Amino acid sequence: MGRINILLIMVLSLIIQGSLSVFFNFDGRQPDLLLIVVTCFSIMWGSKDGALIGGTAGLLQDILFGRLLGLFALTKLIVGYLSGFTEKNIYRDFVLGPMLIVLMMTFLHEGLAFILSGEVARLPLRTAFMNIILPKALYNFCLTPFIYLLIYFANKKGLFRPLQ
């Protein structure tokens, strides 16, 4: 049941991100709720589960919204794996740690997606950073406490179960 709940959280975040983007739109930018979810689970359960959740979430995003199949799967897999390294080194009850990790992982994710999608040939890096990557990172940073605390307390209640 815990694994189904994880999948439901992924699908729900994609639905919110895709259909309610009008409400979450700030200056033409919207957050990546799925990235926040992947990072939160990775922080709680480690690199292996984080990579599996990230790859699955990214593949779902590729199927529903992606132009290139595998782009989000790869970038979210990397984010899940790397953010999972903080599992044993972070105080999970203090939300500032996950917020900073989401901020760093958003920079990594968006930078990788920018390079791998070929946008780097069309748009200067500085322009992309100032107009796309930085606003999204700050938006994700601000939304992280709400999503992290929801997932954290649901995990403590046993609604989720690590994949391994």
CATH of the domain at 133: 1.10.1760.20
Q: Does a structural domain hold residue 164?
A: no
Look at 28 and 55; give whichever has higher pLDDT: 55
Look at 83 and 120; give whichever has higher pLDDT: 83
- Domain residues for the domain of 34 are 2-20+30-156
For position 164, what pLDDT does the model report? 63
Q: How many domains does the chain have?
A: 1
Q: Does a structural domain hold residue 163?
A: no
CA distance 68 to 20: 23
Strand partners, 29: 26
Average pLDDT over residues 69-73: 93
Q: Does a structural domain hold residue 25?
A: no
Comparing 27-31, 121-125, 135-139, 143-147, the range with the smallest average pLDDT is 27-31
CA distance 5 to 14: 14
CB 161 within 8 A of CB 2: yes
Average pLDDT over residues 137-145: 95
Is pTM beyond 0.75? Reply is: yes
Kindly report the length of the chain.
Answer: 164
Q: Tell me: the pLDDT tens digits for 100-138?
A: 999 999 999 999 999 999 887 888 889 989 988 999 999
Report whether pLDDT(2) > 80: no
Q: Is the dihedral of CA 77, 153, 17, 137 positive or negative?
A: negative
Q: Does a structural domain hold residue 53?
A: yes
Q: Does a structural domain hold residue 162?
A: no
Q: Does a structural domain hold residue 161?
A: no
